Chains A and B, each alone.
Chain A
Amino acid sequence: AQTVTQSQPEMSVQEAETVTLSCTYDTSESDYYLFWYKQPPSRQMILVIRQEAYKQQNATENRFSVNFQKAAKSFSLKISDSQLGDAAMYFCAYMRGSQGNLIFGKGTKLSVKP
């Protein structure tokens, strides 16, 4: 069975600084997708970034980028120039290509200090 592990329950970063959130996963599949979702206090799940397993190039979305290490089954999220609005729970998620349902990690609570 696939599993997703986020080893950092809480992280803190100074405004304008850079922070990296860790995520590892376990799977025997070759076709899958990885996601980072943000959940602010409103509890709305917001897609931050996605990565297809077959793509070697790391995905980027403005200030957000990932370090995808397929062999190591690692998928970390880097947030550059952190802003107060980045404070939220961040969930790493795995999706098997043919199945569609998401398997979530336990989340990392990110605090941003002014």
Chain B
Amino acid sequence: GAVVSQHPSWVICKSGTSVKIECRSLDFQATTMFWYRQFPKQSLMLMATSNEGSKATYEQGVEKDKFLINHASLTLSTLTVTSAHPEDSSFYICSARDWTGGEETQYFGPGTRLLVL
């Protein structure tokens, strides 16, 4: 299957700082990527849909100014957690939409563990 990378895999930061997470599709172009958040022992919750060349679409309850998303190219989307606070500590996962072979599938990155102190 297609490969999606995510960087960094682990980040610890101080409260008030900003953290940028990168999501890359390595062997396919992805016009659409998604950002999810997962709390311990829970399912994945969609935060936003990232579209190349346009503004992201955020789910209800997700603060646009806090979670900045940029999809600057067909292989890269970034999520910036601005002025991070301890309650932002979580596991963030991106996925990329692939249409290869006429079959639509989403492939996931390995995730980023964020700890805000």
Chain A residues packing against B (C-beta within 8 Å): 33, 35, 37, 42-47, 50, 52, 91, 95, 97, 100-107
Contact = CB atoms under 8 A, between A and B. Distances in A.
Nearest to B91: A43
B117 to A, nearest CB: 21
B108 A44 contact: yes
A45 B105 CA distance: 13
Which of A50, A101, A102, A106 has the largest count of B CB atoms less than 10 A from its CB?
Answer: A101
Given A45-B93, A95-B106, A104 B43 contact: yes
B108 A45 contact: yes
A104 B91 CA distance: 16
Contacts of B46: 101-103
A102 B1 CA distance: 18
B43 A102 contact: no
B43 A91 contact: yes
30 contacts: A35-B105, A35-B106, A42-B110, A43-B38, A43-B93, A44-B108, A45-B44, A45-B93, A45-B95, A45-B108, A47-B1, A47-B106, A47-B107, A50-B105, A95-B104, A100-B32, A100-B34, A100-B49, A100-B97, A100-B104, A101-B34, A101-B49, A102-B34, A102-B44, A102-B46, A102-B106, A103-B46, A104-B43, A104-B44, A107-B43
